[in-house]
Structure 1
Amino acid sequence: MPEPHKDERPKAEKIAAEIRKLIMSGDWAPGKQVPTNAQLRAQFATSNVTIQRALQILKDEKFLEGQVGVGVFVRGELAQTIQPAHYIAPSDPGQPYRWLSEAAKRGQRSKYRMLAVRETVPPVEVARALRLEEGGTAMLRSRIGYLSDQPAELVHSWYPMELAVGTRLADRRLIPGGSPALLEQMGFPTRSQDDAVAARPATTEEYEALEIPRDVPVLEVFRIVYSDDDKPIEVTLLTKPAHRFKMGYHIEL
């Protein structure tokens, strides 16, 4: 029989993981004062130094906030659940992209900042999803989305060149109503999408663009959007900081 897999992480990291779960689940509510060091020492049967290290990890990750002379408190907001289904349908004519309008409903300020728009040979998984020939190119649109002035998502979207050339998809400016509205106007309405969700360490690009603290992972969504006849019209790689967001799905049977 193989040896059981043991948690060999330092004690402080294991304690930080336990507290992090309490915060992410809402068991430790936003604004809650963290128990005293003496209480935490007793709870986790460890030293004061180890507790201080665990709390510092969580402060660096923005889960905890220290107030001089008062104590340590849970950050002021829960992890936000994002429902991808809210953004599938194109915006109504003259209305902003649904990601922006949904943020407004939650009382959040939102905006996108374009990073790049260019023709490129996409990664293998993107080329495969777009059904490109070997060496084929696609139009890449890269941008950062902000919620209440904090970077919330890094988005890379690829489009078939035959759809993009000569359209706003090839323009560095933001697209009024977003790409779903433009594609529908072009005769390619969204009919379905496939999402593959993963968690992984951040790349340098993601770490810097999303202002990720310490070793917090990112949530990755690899999305393929289809139009009529199962034609792939968009492939998107979207990453979000995992300490601030959850992905939510509602399924009716």
Structure 2
Amino acid sequence: MANEQADGSVWSSQEQIAAHLRDRIINGDFEPGEKLPSLRQMEAQFGVATNTIRAAIATLTSERLVISEQGRGVIVRRHRQLTMRPAAYKNPAPQGQKYQWLTENEKRGMAAKGKLLHVGEVIPPAAVRAVFQLGKNEPALLRRQVLSLDGEPCELVEVYLPLEIAAGTKLMNNHLLRGGSGRVLEDLGYPTLRCEDRVSAQLPTPEQYAALQMPTKLPVLRTFRTTFSTDDRPIQAEIMAKAGHLYELRYDF
């Protein structure tokens, strides 16, 4: 069943079957909790051996799209693909409350958590340096954390802040910030007035691959967000990566 694609590449039968089933799951043709066709049915449909079907199912299992249940077969997981609404997390949390991302996902009935991975001064990527108008060797503060839903990693977040704002403040502390960095910035006199998102798809970096427990050959959704305050001053730059097959972004205009 392996076919040559327009670009000359060849997809194995296993990859084609996994891609077909993945597309139907993501598009809602198979609902959460629904059973996929049996091995025998898929053998007849795709004209391949049982081992090839099993390999395709193993791929979808590693992607967290399906699970195998004794006596039931292969079932589409509840977290088929989640819709995230970035505008819901734009503004800082009210004083004393949790980071907005945690609150919004807890409203969905999900266990949302953040785990801090790193806090420290780094030479940021060129795109971040451009936002803050930093020289090639000028540092910024980096706060890196991984966010999880129901115990599974869903987003790697890198928050960059200018040292002229962050130095000597809670932003330098090596622990999670209640309400998030936006809450601290507002308390310091830098309210969030607008955000600019640039969204792209890319293959994961080694850090993203490890933190998100990504299977191979699948892209991440990368959001580069700049937060602006008074006088349109950029006060924060974020690089956020989500597994592209598990999440979609919704923007309302």
Instruction: Tell me the TM-score normalized by structure 2.
Output: 0.91
2:119 aligned to 117, 124, 134, which one?
A: 117
How many angstroms apart in 1 are the aligned matches of 2:206 and 2:129?
23
The letter of the residue matching 2:26 is M
Task: Give, in angstroms, the shift of residue 203 of structure 1.
Answer: 2.0
The letter of the residue matching 1:165 is A
State the partner residue of 1:140: 142
Per-residue CA deviation, residues 180-239 of structure 1 (Å, 9 max, x unaligned), is 121112121111111111222222222222222343332211111111222110011111
Per-residue CA deviation, residues 132-169 of structure 1 (Å, 9 max, x unaligned), is 12321111111111222221211111111110011111
How many angstroms apart in 2 are the aligned matches of 1:238 and 1:103?
17
Task: Give, in angstroms, the shift of residue 4 of structure 1.
Answer: 4.9
State the partner residue of 1:129: 131
State the partner residue of 2:98: 96
Verify the 8 A CA contact 1:62 1:213 in the aligned structure 2. no
Q: How does 1:89-238 map to 2 (within 5 A)?
A: 89-238=91-240
Higher mean Cα deviation, 194-203 or 210-219?
210-219
How many angstroms apart in 2 are the aligned matches of 1:26 and 1:120?
42
Q: Aligned-residue CA RMSD in angstroms?
A: 1.9
Task: Give, in angstroms, the shift of residue 103 of structure 1.
Answer: 1.6
2:89 aligned to 80, 87, 90, which one?
A: 87
SS of residue matched to 1:162: helix
How many angstroms apart in 2 are the aligned matches of 1:134 and 1:49?
53
Verify the 8 A CA contact 1:24 1:78 in the aligned structure 2. yes
Task: Give, in angstroms, the shift of residue 85 of structure 1.
Answer: 0.3
* Paired-residue identity, %: 37
How many angstroms apart in 1 are the aligned matches of 2:183 and 2:198?
23
Verify the 8 A CA contact 2:31 2:76 in the aligned structure 1. yes
SS of residue matched to 1:23: helix
How many angstroms apart in 2 are the aligned matches of 1:25 and 1:238?
24
Task: Give, in angstroms, the shift of residue 69 of structure 1.
Answer: 4.1
Closer/same/farther in 2, CA of residues 32 and 178 from structure 1, 3 Å limit: same
Verify the 8 A CA contact 1:218 1:241 in the aligned structure 2. yes
How many angstroms apart in 2 are the aligned matches of 1:60 and 1:115?
24
State the partner residue of 1:248: 250
How many angstroms apart in 1 are the aligned matches of 2:54 and 2:119?
46
Task: Give, in angstroms, the shift of residue 79 of structure 1.
Answer: 1.0
How many aligned residue pairs are there? 249
